[in-house]
Amino acid sequence: MRKSIFLLPIFVLILVAALSSVFIVDERERALVLQFGQIVKVKSEPGVGFKVPLIQDVVKYDDRILSRDLDPLEVTPSDDRRLVVDAFARYRIADVVQFRQAVGAGGLEVASRRLDGILRDTTRNVLGTVSSNDILSTDRAALMLRIRNNAIAEAQSLGLEVIDVRLKRTDLPPENLNATYERMKAEREREAADEVARGNEAALRIRAQADRTVVELTSDANRQAEITRGEADAARNAVYAEAFGADPEFFEFYRSMTAYLRFAEQGRSSMVLSPDSEFFNYLQSDQGSAENTAQAQSSASGQATGTTAPADQ
């Protein structure tokens, strides 16, 4: 009975020591066995591991891909237009031994702060060599690749592997928004004024060409019309000459009728002419000047006979 009382504590101590010497590594983890703060063993494969109780400790680190969001960062590109950049990174612990030596007992908290500094410095250095238009364009993919490559080299000293770096948001600082909007507005107004000026210049050029074409076409049409009119007048005069030459009396009659018609169309109510004017030839007789001539000759003959008769008496 007394022997069992002494053996029970010993058995409990042995059991506790055995349990404390066993540790389990998950497939998502890697473990370091430390002895008085020094690394004595690395457990990279999942499964059961052993350590010396009370003397050795086990530190486990996440072997998965981790994410880190950076606080909004203000950068100054080469064109001096300040931008606020919001980025995040994906990384993993590539070398647990180097990681432990670099960060000590601080673990991921210390490593995250140091990684943030690396990413901020790298982002500022890369984005400071390009213009803001490059940052806001499709060239961002190449810029993110440059940031990642630069961060990889610096993060290796921490035992970290930077897998990817992304720029989530790129905005202007609040104090620069109004100035930027006004500058963009002025640029657009200037471009619009240039377009209007070029349009007006083109309109004047087209209008001048059109006016010149109108003048040329009108001049050519007038010239052709004058030529045609002259040819028609010549043909008309030839016809008139032929017709009037065949009947001179009809020509005299036509001229008189035309004169009467023009006088009547003018609306005049009186006209002062000599009674023996040729204008009244066809108003006095339908024979015109021929009849008047005959009457004149007959009168002259009668006057001659009347003068001789008293002499005979």
Global pTM value = 0.52
Domains of the chain: 2-62 (no CATH), 66-171 (3.30.479.30), 248-296 (no CATH)
Residue 300 has pLDDT above 60, yes or no: no
Q: For residues 79 and 142, give the distance between their C-alpha atoms in angstroms, rounded to a whole number.
A: 19
> 148 phi and psi, to 5 degrees?
-65, -45
Q: What is the mean pLDDT of the chain?
A: 79
Q: What is the mean pLDDT of residues 278-288?
A: 61
Amino acid 18: pLDDT: 63
Highest mean pLDDT among 22-36, 236-250, 297-311: 22-36
CB 91 within 8 A of CB 162: yes
Q: What is the tens place of the pLDDT at every residue in 205-235?
A: 999 999 999 999 999 999 999 999 999 989 9
Amino acid 12: pLDDT: 66
Q: What is the tens place of the pLDDT at every residue in 116-159?
A: 999 999 999 998 888 888 887 777 888 899 999 999 988 988 88
Highest mean pLDDT among 79-83, 177-181, 286-290: 79-83
Residue 180 has pLDDT above 60, yes or no: yes
Residue 161 has pLDDT above 50, yes or no: yes
Q: What is the tens place of the pLDDT at every residue in 186-203?
A: 999 999 999 999 999 999
Angle, CA 132 vertex, CA 130 and CA 137 arms, to 5°: 95
Q: Name the nearest CA neighbour of 24 among 58, 56, 53.
A: 58
* Reported confidence tier of residue 103, pLDDT bands at 50, 70, 90: confident
Q: Which two tokens stand for residue 161?
A: 């592997």
Number of C-beta neighbours around residue 297 at 10 A: 10
Residue 254 has pLDDT above 50, yes or no: yes
Amino acid 268: pLDDT: 58
